[in-house]
Amino acid sequence: MTSDTRLLPHSRNGWLMLTAGAVALAIAPQFLPLYYVELGTSALIAAMLALSMQVLVGATGLVSLGHGAFYGLAAYTVYLVSPESAAQPMWLTLPLAMAVAGLAAFLVGLLSIRTSGFFFLMVTLAFGQMIFFIFHDTKLGGGTDGAYLGKPLISAFGATFDLPRRQRPLGIYYVALIQLMLMYAGLALLLKTLFGRALEGIKVNEHRMRAIGYDTYTIKLIAFTLAGSLAGAAGHMWALHRGFVNPEIVGWHQSAEALLMILLGGLGSLHGPILGALALTGLGEATQVLTEVSKAPYVPEKIAALLRLLGERKLLVEGLVILAVVIMLPRGLAGIGSKRLDKSGGGHA
């Protein structure tokens, strides 16, 4: 049978690896210092954003540079309803943030989905920048320096989940992890529906999809809206994690970074963006490790100097790694280890 989407693992082993990865993420905080737990939360949030973008890029073939705006908009929504002095419960802020982001995505989508390819990229960029300017240039969201908000309370069904101060980052980590897993599971189910197949058809050959009778505009609009509201969940999580909003999180750089994570992780799988997000976050940390290593007594001076240089030059390392990936791994990090497939990718038949 050929009814399974190629974005999901094709074999039992694939699913096993994925489960193992999830378990590793679940138990890792037990062994890590608090700072790394918080760094992990940042990585998970980045993964949520990248995963939501994969609905567009990997599943539908739509590349948007406005996606980050929905993420930032959701964080600002939390700021507007949950001021520092009066934190609101998460069961209220999360659906609200997702709804606002989804609504914004719907409106942007209504107009921009008429265009395609590079033009779509630019129109979404334009709309994203309009949202950016709302928060950067008006007083609505605290202006250029950003503003603080009350971190939404982790609560559901009347019970508030609270931990002692030192433990709180742990709780937030798990909230992010659970959301990421739910998002993955939900999208996996979606891709297994007929709708998921239609998305794939659009990605492969949209023109033909219209010719065989698909309303591709509506299908893409649904995907765009859904992706926007999922980005909203990620933005909400950023607000919950940081308690701080800044116009930078609305800017197009967020979209570019999420796209980078997808490309690094691999376009061809749903878990690729998660790998990409973890890798890119880890890379920033790894350069610091290089500096530490350079100080070890047994490292020859020349190598130490090189390590110091790389350790100080986070962007240089990032650039070189990306260059290496794009030249050597055309299918992204998720392509490592899987059998080399021909271009048509028919390994699952």
Q: What is the smallest separation between the CB atom of 185 and other proteins, expressed in angstroms?
A: 15
Q: Which long-range contacts (CB under 8 A, 24 or more apart) does 240-244 make?
A: 240/78, 240/90, 240/93, 240/151, 240/152, 240/154, 240/172, 240/175, 241/38, 241/41, 241/42, 241/45, 241/151, 241/172, 241/176, 243/84, 243/148, 243/149, 243/150, 243/151, 244/146, 244/147, 244/148, 244/149
148 binds other proteins (CB under 8 A): yes
73 binds other proteins (CB under 8 A): no
Instruction: Tell which positions 266-325 bind other proteins, by CB under 8 A.
Output: 267, 291, 295, 308, 312-313, 315-316, 318-320, 322-323, 325
Provide the CB-side half-sphere exposure for 228 (13 A, CA).
29
Query: Among 14-22, 92-100, 176-184, 263-271, which window interacts with other proteins (CB under 8 A)?
Result: 263-271
Query: Among 96-104, 142-150, 154-162, 296-304, which window interacts with other proteins (CB under 8 A)?
Result: 142-150
31 binds other proteins (CB under 8 A): no
28 binds other proteins (CB under 8 A): no
| Residue 72, SS3 per DSSP | helix
35 binds other proteins (CB under 8 A): yes
Query: Among 95-103, 153-161, 256-264, 296-304, which window interacts with other proteins (CB under 8 A)?
Result: 256-264
69 binds other proteins (CB under 8 A): no
Q: What is the smallest separation between the CB atom of 139 and other proteins, expressed in angstroms?
A: 10
Q: Which is nearer to other proteins, 99 or 134 (CB)?
A: 134
Task: Calculate the alpha carbon distances from 19 to 14, 153, 166 in Å.
Answer: 9, 29, 29
- Binds other proteins (CB under 8 A): choice among 218, 282, 289, 303: 218
Q: Which is nearer to other proteins, 293 or 313 (CB)?
A: 313
Count of CB atoms situated within 10 Å of the CB of 44: 28
338 binds other proteins (CB under 8 A): no
Query: Among 9-17, 48-56, 94-102, 201-209, which window interacts with other proteins (CB under 8 A)?
Result: 201-209
Write out the H or E segment, with its range, that includes residue 159: strand 159-160
Query: Among 46-54, 96-104, 108-116, 176-184, which window interacts with other proteins (CB under 8 A)?
Result: 108-116
Q: What is the smallest separation between the CB atom of 216 and other proteins, expressed in angstroms?
A: 7
Give the distance between the most distant pair of CA atoms in the chain. 69
Question: Can you tell me the distance from the alpha carbon of 237 to that of 246, in angstroms, rounded to the nearest whole number?
Answer: 14
Instruction: List the structure tokens of 285.
Output: 């940390």
106 binds other proteins (CB under 8 A): no
Identify the bridge partners of residue 245 per DSSP, sorted by sequence position: 147
| Residue 153, SS3 per DSSP | strand
Instruction: List the structure tokens of 104.
Output: 């914004």
How many residues of this chain interact with other proteins, rule: CB under 8 A? 96
Spatial CA neighbour of 56 closest among 19, 7, 107: 7
Q: What is the smallest separation between the CB atom of 51 and other proteins, expressed in angstroms?
A: 17
Q: What is the smallest separation between the CB atom of 13 and other proteins, expressed in angstroms?
A: 20
211 binds other proteins (CB under 8 A): yes
Question: Can you tell me the distance from the alpha carbon of 160 to that of 64, in angstroms, rounded to the nearest whole number?
Answer: 37
- Binds other proteins (CB under 8 A): choice among 97, 123, 172, 188: 123
2 binds other proteins (CB under 8 A): yes
Question: Are residues 215 and 50 in contact, defined by beta-carbon separation less than 8 angstroms?
Answer: no
Amino acid 235 reads G
333 binds other proteins (CB under 8 A): no
Q: Using the structure block, give the residue that is written with the tokens 């010719």.
A: 211
Q: What is the smallest separation between the CB atom of 159 and other proteins, expressed in angstroms?
A: 24
Query: Among 47-55, 98-106, 107-115, 152-160, which window interacts with other proteins (CB under 8 A)?
Result: 107-115
